[in-house]
Chains A and B, each alone.
Chain A
């Protein structure tokens, strides 16, 4: 069962030279799903192997709700995995750290950006004036 789950996850997120495949988070996904994946795996062919997207498409059509749960659990586990986050940082510059406590720097709001909008006359409707 674990091998079949790993093969399914590697089909959903294939690895390449940089990115690891989804199989690296199979234990986390299995723990999160707590058995939900069994029905999905049961629909796959007996000789299912990683990369067989046609078989997975059939599974998605046959069992849309549990399949969606598997994909959701995979995406959560994969994109919070430290190894994946290091790849993400190397490829995009998105730092592999939590948002806090450092936060991020942004330049303050530039009030001059409102110059054109400040020229506009008020355009909200005043019901008291319209009924007068």
Chain B
């Protein structure tokens, strides 16, 4: 029996989660005249005081800006049981969510990604297509501030980017020439980085470590792009406010219970939006079980938490005799190749992967290995370090994962957060298809490095730290028996509960998902505004 906490004034929409999707949805709804309150368990970060201004910036990257919440352990973080997955979680808890910590690589899912079953006989088709999101992609690009070049032959046409692409620098320039030499695709990445002044944001000065925040505000984050605009439109954004459960009566969500400053309260609302990423959203749905929803809220299908997809990643690094100065320039979003992203049965796997260029890191990251192995200790340490530092460039092999019901998020029976809410436990196995995809990508990536003139190629066959993306755990569909939400993110069982984050993905594509997540969030929020107006 739940104790009724004090009740806040009701709003049209309460949004749980202030990351990429929640903030976009808050802005859209507030712009449409809806009363909105957003609850974010993390705090606001002042990027103008980012650690990259001081000498201990690499220490910050390994501690309070570490991607793994089990290592970072900020007060607002919840622990994750990752004992039964080879992919460790990488997320961030603050206003802006993972976009506080990200590399700002900003590709879109591609038209075929929405029709995987029809095209390749695997996974499922989405109930929406690329055309349904096209206008929302463009709107989101303008809000986030995207640089790049239109005309990529691997993707549908899109408007000219408002800002020119990032400079390549010596390493990626070598990769571009190598792709050309092989006759393979490459293109400057769409990146959520301002390369010229953009509104109140300054232009990127190629400092490198985007992952500790950007004091020039050149690298976009969801809080920079959306929070101020949402507040200006009337949205209330509350930080340090952790949602405990979503309340529902029958098929209607009534609001959320949350704790802020040690005090529990209830925020009643006409509609609830859940935007806590594919791990946190599944966790909260499961933790909101009630007599009306004994298996978890919106879980009549039993699909909540299932079909967890990541982007399994391998890393191919070329070592060069020449100095490449990989510390100069945003680290993860300069160029990509989609040469092997479409299915080709001759390759021995279904679907495909993307290459993404990664520049080198600072001295600490180089020594610790980044996404590679760490530099060995002992007598050869400095020689090995100097062979790599400033002399390397890498390609990620970002593979498309396919939905598997046994890859899932469940509630841990023992582990809890500091407010007693069960922690998520991840259960995941790498599929054989994804393994073959990674192996193909490793061989192809080595080919690129050799064509680029690498004197040595170092391979990390599986990047354990690459759990950046949590997708598919409350997927959309037309059948309430096999999906959790409909094409507009409405829970089949609780139609005034709307999901807007990566949980709704039906398949994962082989590209970073944030652009697509935000386009979905804007679209779903706009549709919710329509319904609230009509009511």
Footprint of B on A, CB under 8 Å? 11-14, 16, 19, 53, 56, 71-72, 75-76, 78-80, 82, 85, 88, 91-94, 97-111, 113-114, 116-118, 120-128, 130-131
Contact = CB atoms under 8 A, between A and B. Distances in A.
Contact of A76 (B52, B58, B129, B215): B58
Contact of B59 (A80, A92, A101): A80
A93 B215 CA distance: 24
A16 B385 CA distance: 14
Given A100-B50, A104-B206, A117 B185 contact: yes
A93 B386 CA distance: 12
B111 A124 contact: yes
Given A94-B389, A98-B54, A108-B167, A11 B364 contact: no
B2 to A, nearest CB: 40
B111 A125 contact: yes
B207 A127 contact: no
B112 A124 contact: yes
Interface in B84-117: 110-112, 114-115
B188 interface: yes
Given A76-B368, A85-B55, 14 more contacts: A56-B377, A76-B59, A78-B367, A79-B364, A99-B52, A103-B204, A104-B205, A106-B329, A109-B168, A117-B153, A124-B153, A127-B114, A131-B115, A131-B118
Nearest to B55: A98
Interface of B: 50, 52-59, 62, 110-112, 114-115, 118-119, 129, 149, 151, 153-156, 164-169, 173, 176, 180, 185-188, 204-209, 215-216, 323, 325, 327-329, 342, 362-364, 366-368, 374-375, 377-379, 381-382, 386, 389-390
B155 A124 contact: yes
Contacts, number: 169
B169 A92 contact: no
A112 B110 CA distance: 26
B364 A14 contact: no
29 contacts: A53-B379, A56-B377, A75-B374, A76-B364, A76-B368, A80-B364, A85-B55, A88-B363, A91-B386, A98-B52, A99-B327, A100-B52, A100-B207, A100-B215, A102-B205, A103-B204, A103-B207, A104-B208, A114-B187, A114-B188, A117-B180, A117-B186, A120-B153, A122-B154, A123-B153, A124-B111, A124-B342, A126-B111, A127-B119
A127 B151 contact: no
Contacts of A108: 164, 167
B206 A116 contact: no
A99 B368 contact: no
B320 to A, nearest CB: 14
A97 B382 CA distance: 21
Instruction: Report the 8 A-B pairs with minimum CB-CB distance, sorted nearest first.
Output: A103-B205, A99-B207, A127-B115, A106-B167, A125-B112, A104-B328, A79-B363, A12-B377
B381 A14 contact: yes
B119 A72 contact: no
Given A103-B206, A124-B112, A131-B118, A80 B188 contact: no
Contact of A79 (B52, B58, B327): B58
B163 to A, nearest CB: 11
Contacts of B323: 93
A124 B154 contact: yes
Of B155, B216, B374, B378, chain A has the most CB atoms within 10 Å of the CB of B378
A109 B164 contact: yes
Given A88-B363, A104-B329, A106-B169, A127 B129 contact: yes
Nearest to B334: A109
Contacts of A13: 377, 381-382
